[in-house]
């Protein structure tokens, strides 16, 4: 049998490549906060259906406090985002982008203003909202097997533990008989956090039963002002190091420090900190006093805040506004297509003239 040393020598370059890939994944993803779960197989459909997702489409920050790297693409492409991910043919992507440009350009003056972009961002955000509502109907049916229109905490708990590999019948029997459940510490911690979220989603009078609308708030707190406040409290709790229920810049950029073992990973880590610093100083800290309060973070997180949408529109225009006229022409969007769509279009200038 080949020794470990011989194996590593023979596949040294492959090993280093894989090591670097995993390092990049670690730095990008960052360890999640104490709502993190153990890895599950990709085909674990039940868990995906009943767990509140960390990534919320059209929201600038994830539930664990990470910045949403796909936010610009989500609020520019809406449902078309998947098409750009799956279809890498530049010519087709250019045509799709030209169609989107014409839709945003409401007054047909061949350029996009901040107001037009703001309207589009609000429209795409609402589109994500409606998509979440439709998905919630399916997810609710998955946890409401008797179809009575309500889900109790115990019913949800059984389904959740079954998705974690526990025997559903045994768990149901133990809960019915008030017997002690032997659950590992990590799973119990997740359950405790989910139960807190369940309480918050349970509208008065509290009965620990969630209807379809309340279950939507549980899975998607952005749909409820009260749940949005709860999500902000969770993020503050996880980032606030001195317990004053406010965030300083150092607290915001220190979540959490990645392990950096080479210069390339250090560059990625530096970019991550740079992005968070910019977002803190230029956007979240509204009065620029160096402190982010719960109120400021809540306004920042609110996806239907029109002022935020306008501010975002101006930022998006500034990225590609090469002629500094505070508008976006089609050529500028095509040139900076990777920012807006995640897809880099080659020979944009030549092709746009061909297609016109």
Q: Which of 296, 179, 203, 204 is nearest to 248 (CA)?
A: 296
Higher pLDDT pick, 4 / 149: 149
- Cβ-count burial of 152 within 10 angstroms (0-12 exposed, 13-18 middle, 19+ buried)? middle
Would you say residue 347 has pLDDT above 80? no
Q: Could you give phi then psi for residue 151, rounded to 5 degrees?
A: -125, 125
CB 334 within 8 A of CB 352: yes
pLDDT at residue number 279: 93
Would you say residue 163 has pLDDT above 90? no
The tens digit of pLDDT for each residue in 307-338 reads 999 999 999 999 999 999 999 999 999 999 98
CB 27 within 8 A of CB 197: no
pLDDT at residue number 188: 92
Provide the 10 A C-beta neighbour count for residue 260.
16
Mean pLDDT of the chain: 81
The tens digit of pLDDT for each residue in 41-61 reads 333 444 455 788 888 888 999
| Within a domain: 178 | no
Q: Which of 356, 265, 345, 330 is nearest to 112 (CA)?
A: 330
- Residue 248 bridge partners (DSSP): 291
Angle, in degrees to the nearest 10, between helices 90-104 and 114-143: 110
Radius of gyration of the chain (CA): 23
pLDDT at residue number 52: 85
Task: Give the range among 26-35, 57-66, 105-114 with minimum mean pLDDT.
Answer: 26-35
CA distances from 213 to 100, 223, 282 (A): 32, 9, 35
| Within a domain: 165 | no
The tens digit of pLDDT for each residue in 234-287 reads 999 989 999 999 999 999 998 554 444 555 555 557 788 899 999 999 999 999
Instruction: Say which residues have a Cβ less than 8 Å from residue 21's Cβ, sequence separation at least 6.
Output: none
Structural domain for 336, as ranges: 70-150+211-353
| Within a domain: 38 | no
**Total number of domains in the chain:** 1
| Within a domain: 266 | yes
| Within a domain: 343 | yes
Cα–Cα distance, 13 to 162 (Å, whole number)? 41
CA distances from 89 to 48, 94, 334, 346 (A): 31, 9, 14, 10
Cα–Cα distance, 81 to 151 (Å, whole number)? 33
- Residue 345 bridge partners (DSSP): none
Provide the 10 A C-beta neighbour count for residue 121.
25
Would you say residue 117 has pLDDT above 50? yes
Query: What mean pLDDT do residues 220-239 have?
Result: 92
Cα–Cα distance, 1 to 222 (Å, whole number)? 56
| Within a domain: 21 | no
CB 206 within 8 A of CB 153: no
| Within a domain: 202 | no
Tell whether pTM > 0.85. Answer: no
| Within a domain: 254 | yes
């Amino acid at each position: 049998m080949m020794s470990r040393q011989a194996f590593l020598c023979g596949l040294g370059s492959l090993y280093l490549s894989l090591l670097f890939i995993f390092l990049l994944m670690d730095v990008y993803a960052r360890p999640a906060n104490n709502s993190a779960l153990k890895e599950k197989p990709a085909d674990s459909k039940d868990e995906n259906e009943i767990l509140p997702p960390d990534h919320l489409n059209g929201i600038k920050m994830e539930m664990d406090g990470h910045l949403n790297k796909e936010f610009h693409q989500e609020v520019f492409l809406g449902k078309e985002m998947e098409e750009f991910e799956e279809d890498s043919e530049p010519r087709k992507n250019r045509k799709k982008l030209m169609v989107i440009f014409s839709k945003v350009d409401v007054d047909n003056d061949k350029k996009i203003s901040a107001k037009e972009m703001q309207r589009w961002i609000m429209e795409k955000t609402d589109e994500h909202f409606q998509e979440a509502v439709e998905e919630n109907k399916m997810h609710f049916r998955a946890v409401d097997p008797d179809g009575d229109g309500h889900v109790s905490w115990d019913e949800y708990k059984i389904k959740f533990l079954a998705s974690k590999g526990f025997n559903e019948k045994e768990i149901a029997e133990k809960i019915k008989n008030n017997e002690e459940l032997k659950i590992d510490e990590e799973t119990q911690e997740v359950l405790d956090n989910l139960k807190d979220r369940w309480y918050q989603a349970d509208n008065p009078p509290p009965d620990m039963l969630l209807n379809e609308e309340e279950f939507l708030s549980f899975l998607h707190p952005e749909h409820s002002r009260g749940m949005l406040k709860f999500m902000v409290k969770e993020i503050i709790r996880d980032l606030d190091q001195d317990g004053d229920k406010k965030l300083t810049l150092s607290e915001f950029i220190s979540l959490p420090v990645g392990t950096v073992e080479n210069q390339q990973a250090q560059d990625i880590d530096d970019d991550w900190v740079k992005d968070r610093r910019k977002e803190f100083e230029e956007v979240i800290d509204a009065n620029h006093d160096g402190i982010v309060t719960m109120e400021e973070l809540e306004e920042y997180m609110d996806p239907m805040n029109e002022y935020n949408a306008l501010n975002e529109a101006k930022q998006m225009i500034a990225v590609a506004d090469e002629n500094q006229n505070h508008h976006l022409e089609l050529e500028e969007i095509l040139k900076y297509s990777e920012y807006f769509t995640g897809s880099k279009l080659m020979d944009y200038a030549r092709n746009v003239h061909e297609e016109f």
